[in-house]
Amino acid sequence: SQTIHQWPATLVQPVGSPLSLECTVEGTSNPNLYWYRQAAGRGLQLLFYSVGIGQISSEVPQNLSASRPQDRQFILSSKKLLLSDSGFYLCAWSTPSGRAFAFFGPGTRLTVL
């Protein structure tokens, strides 16, 4: 069966510090990978998605970036965090073709102070 991992689970960072959140998927090959952000009391906003290694599409221009160095690894980064980057970050995967599924990781709660 497929599983998706995210770490860290919780992170408190000062404004201006760098960020690296990691997501890995097990039990599937060539998944589509996604980063979503959920601000307090709001819905989910798609930040980035990837259909393959090194292929990243950005949905919202901001100071965040994403990378996919391996087939089942997706990383969300920032060089300098802003207060507005606080939120709950969710990684998700879906099948690349055919029957579409979308499963989410446990999430990372980021607080920028």
Partner 1 sequence: AQTVTQSQPEMSVQEAETVTLSCTYDTSENNYYLFWYKQPPSRQMILVIRQEAYKQQNATENRFSVNFQKAAKSFSLKISDSQLGDTAMYFCAFMYDGAGSYQLTFGKGTKLSVIP
Q: How far is the CB of 34 from partner 1 (least distance, A)?
A: 7
Alpha carbon of 102 to those of 34, 77, 86, 94: distances in Å?
10, 22, 24, 4
Q: Dihedral of CA 72/37/7/22: which sign?
A: positive
By CB under 8 A, tell whether 11 contacts partner 1: no
Site for partner 1 in 80-109 (CB under 8 A): 88, 90, 92, 94-95, 99-107, 109
Report the C-alpha gap between 28 and 20 in whole angstroms. Answer: 23
Interacting span for partner 1 (CB under 8 A) from 22-30, 47-55, 62-70, 75-83? 47-55
Give phi and psi for 85, each to the nearest 5.
-80, -10
Binding residues for partner 1 (CB under 8 A): 32, 34, 36, 38, 42-44, 46, 49-51, 57, 88, 90, 92, 94-95, 99-107, 109
